Structure 1
Amino acid sequence: MTTPAAAVHVRAPGKINVFMRVGTLQEDGYHDVATAYQAVSLCEEVRAFPASDFSVSFDGPIDSSGLATDASNIAIKAARALARRTGFRGGVRLEITKRVPIAGGMGGGSADAAGALLACDALWGTDVGREELHALAARLGADVPFALMGGTAIGTGRGDRLSPALAKGTFHWVLAFADFGMSTPAVYQELDRHRDRHALDIFPASPQPFVDAGVLQALRAGDPHMLAECLHNDLQAPSLHLAPDLAKVLELGEQNGALAGIVSGSGPTIAFLAADLDSAISLQIALSAARLTVARVTGPVSGARLLAD
C-alpha cells in the first residue's frame, strides 16, 4: 500500500460500438457479443475524497436527477467492491460530473464505475494493479473493463473479454443525443422478438459471433471511408423499432454529409462518422440547426486515467 491521497481526480471515456454482432439467446438469458469499441472524447469526471462512509453526487450538463445515489449506484458498487477486495476500512465521497448521456448506449455508467475503481485505488493507496482492477470491473458490468482500458478494442463474451485493436490516426464523430434513455435489457428482448418475427428473411444468429475482418482493416488504416462501409450493429433494428423517430435522425445526418450513422450500443445515441474535422463541424452545425442536441468528439482516446488537479 502507498500513502493515501487527499483527493483524486479521474477522467473516464464514453464509448461507441463501431461494430456489434449479437449471438443467439443462451440458457442463462444472456447473449454473447462480438464488438469493436472505440473510446471517445466525451468523458465523465470522477473526484474522490476521503470519507467514513460511501456516497455519490452528480453535476454537469446531463440531467442526473433520476440517478440513484444509494448502494445500487454502480460507482458506489465499484468503490465497495474495491474496499472488500483490499480490506479497506474507510469510505469515499464521490463527485461525478456527467457528460455521457444516461441510458444512451455510450457506457456512461460503466465509465463512472471504472473512474471510481481507479480513483479509490489511488485515494486509498491500495495499489491493486490494472489486472486486478480489470477483474473487479468485469464483475460490475460488461462495458466497465473497456472504460478502464480505452483506445480501440475487440470485446467478446459479454463484451468484457478484451483484446486491443490497432487504430491509426483520429476518427471524427458527431453524436446526436435523444431526450430519453433506452433500457438495454428491453432492446435485447426486442432483438430476440425481431429475430423470431423475421426468421425466414434474415440469416440465423451465430452462437459465437465475431468481428468482421474489414472493420479491423479500416481501423488499422485509420480510414473513415473504409470504416463507414463496415459500421454495423445488430441492436440497431430493435432500437429503431422501439423508437421509430431515430430513423429520421439517421436520415438527417446522412443527408448532411455523414459518411454513415449508427445507433451506439443499445441506443438511443446515434454516432455519425465524418470524413474529417471540417465535415464534422458542418454536420454538427446542420444537426444543431435542426434542433438536435449534438456533440462533436474524436476517438480513440485513452481509458480511465488519473489527472493532476
Structure 2
Amino acid sequence: MTRVHVRAPGKVNLSLRVAALQDDGYHPLVTTFQAVSLFEDVEVGDTEPGAGISISVTGPHADVVPTDSSNLAWQAAELVAAAAGVDPDVHIEITKGVPVGGGMAGGSADGAATLVACNALWSAGLSQTDLSDLAARLGSDVPFGLVGNTAVGTGRGHLLTPAMSRADLHWVFAVRDEGLSTGAVYRAYDEHVGGPAHVSPDDDAALLAALRSGDAAAVGAALHNDLQAASLTLAPHLRRTLDLATEAGALGALISGSGPTVAALAGDLRHAHAIAAAWNAAGVADQVHLATGPVHGARIVTHVGPERHP
C-alpha cells in the first residue's frame, strides 16, 4: 500500500481589509496572511478498487469535523482524481492541530494537504500552478495553505502575492469552543460599517514595511481587522481578551479574520508565555496556543510505497 503524509499550517490574518458588498455577493478583500506553527497532518493511502473516499479524524474536537463530502479534504481528493484520470479510491486520515472553528483555516489546510498528498499518491504530475487552481475552487483560504509563509491575498483572498518577512514572530492564540458564524459577522459588518468602495494593498504599506525590516513592534502596531468591530457586536466578551493582551504588554492584538480567535503578538517566547498565563488566569479562553510564524506551506513529510501512474 502506498501512503503519503503531508503537513499544512494554520494561519493568522495580520491585516484584513474589506470593501463594500458587491453586486456579485462578494466583498473584495485585501488580507495579509501568515502561516503559523499549528499544523494539520493528513495521510492518504490506497484502498481497494471501488472503495471510494473515506475520512477519519483524530485530535481535539475531532468529533465535530465532518467525514463526508462536505469536508474539503474529500473534495480535494475528488478534484485530483479527476485531473489524474483515476478513480478516487483513497482513505484520508486527518490529525487536527489547528483549532476547530477558530477561524485559523484548519479545514482549508486539510484541503491543501490533501491536494499535495493525492497528487503524489496517484503520480498525477500536477504543477504548483495546477494545484493552486484546484485550491481556489475549494475555497478562498486553501491556496494560501499550499504556499504558507507570508502573503498578500486579494480578490476573495485567493489571489496571492508573496510578502517578504524578516521577522520571526511569536504568537499567542485565545480560542473559544463556541465559534462565530462568518456569514453573521459579514452581515453585521454590512449593517454597522458598510466598508469602503475599494481596498488596496497600499493600505497596508506600514505593515509590509515592518515585515520586510523585521521590526516585530512595528508589525504589532500595524495589525488591522476591518471585521473586528462587527465581531465584537456579536461576541462582546472578546473585548476582555483583547484588553488582557494589551495589559500584558502585547505588541499588538486583534481578532483574527471573522473570529472568534484572538491573536496576540509577543516580543519573545517568554513574553508569549506571560500573555498565555494572563488569559488562562482570567479564564477568557477555552484553549490557549503558542505558535511562531512564518512557516512553510503544505509539504510532504513521508511517501512510502511504489509510485502509481495514472
Normalising by structure 2, report the TM-score.
0.92
- Specify the alignment match of 2:295 in structure 1: 301
Q: Which residue matches 1:54?
A: 53
Quote the sequence identity (%): 48
Residue 38 of structure 1 aligns with which residue?
34
Q: Take 2:213 and 2:62, find their aligned partners in 1: how far apart are those partners?
A: 38
Question: What does residue range 136-151 of structure 1 map to in structure 2 within 5 Å?
Answer: 136-151=134-149
**Does the CA-based 8 Å contact 1:23-1:209 persist in structure 2?**
no
Q: 1:206 aligns with which of 189, 197, 200?
A: 197
Note the C-alpha offset of 1:126: 0.9
Aligned partner letter, 1:134: S
Aligned to 1:98: 96
User: Which stretches in structure 2 are left out of the alignment for 5+ residues?
Assistant: 304-310
Q: CA RMSD in A?
A: 1.4
Distance 2:115 2:83 in 1: 11
Which piece of structure 1 moves more, 234-243 or 282-291?
282-291
Q: Deviations over 1:246-278 (max 9, x none)?
A: 111111111112122111111001100011222
Specify the alignment match of 1:241 in structure 2: 233
Q: Is the CA contact 2:245–2:253 (under 8 Å) kept in the aligned structure 1?
A: yes
Matches within 5 A, 1:174-253: 174-195=172-193, 205-210=196-201, 211-253=203-245
- Partner of 1:94: helix, strand, or coil? strand
- Structure 1 257/21 Cα, relative in aligned 2: closer, same or farther at 3 Å? same
Q: Check the 8 A contact 1:14/1:106 in 2, yes or no.
A: yes
In structure 2, the partner of 1:282 is 274
- Asked if residue 71 in structure 1 is aligned to residue 69 in structure 2, the reply is yes
CA offsets per residue over residues 223-261 of structure 1, 9 Å max, x none? 111011110001111111111111111111111121221
Question: Do 2:77 and 2:88's aligned partners in 1 also have CA atoms closer than 8 Å?
Answer: no
Shift of 1:77: 0.6
Corresponding position: 1:17 with 2:13: yes
Secondary structure, aligned partner of 1:205: coil
Task: State the match for 2:116 in structure 1.
Answer: 118
Question: What are the Cα deviations for residues 45-83 of structure 1, in whole angstroms up to 9, with x where unaligned?
Answer: 1011112310111101x2121222111211101110111
Q: Letter of the 1:39 partner, please give it.
A: A
How many residue pairs match? The answer is 297
Which 5+ residue runs of structure 1 have no aligned equivalent? 197-203
Is the 1:8–1:47 Cα contact (8 Å) retained in structure 2? Answer: yes
Q: TM-score, normalised by structure 1?
A: 0.93
> Could you report, residue by residue, the CA deviation over 1:255-306 in whole angstroms, capped at 9, with x for unpaired residues?
1121221111110011000112221122222222333321110000000000
Deviation per CA, 1:139-165: give whole Å up to 9, x if none: 100000001000000000000000000
1:256 partnered with 2:255: no
In 1, Cα distance between equivalents of 2:14 and 2:192: 21
User: 2:307 is matched with which residue?
Assistant: none
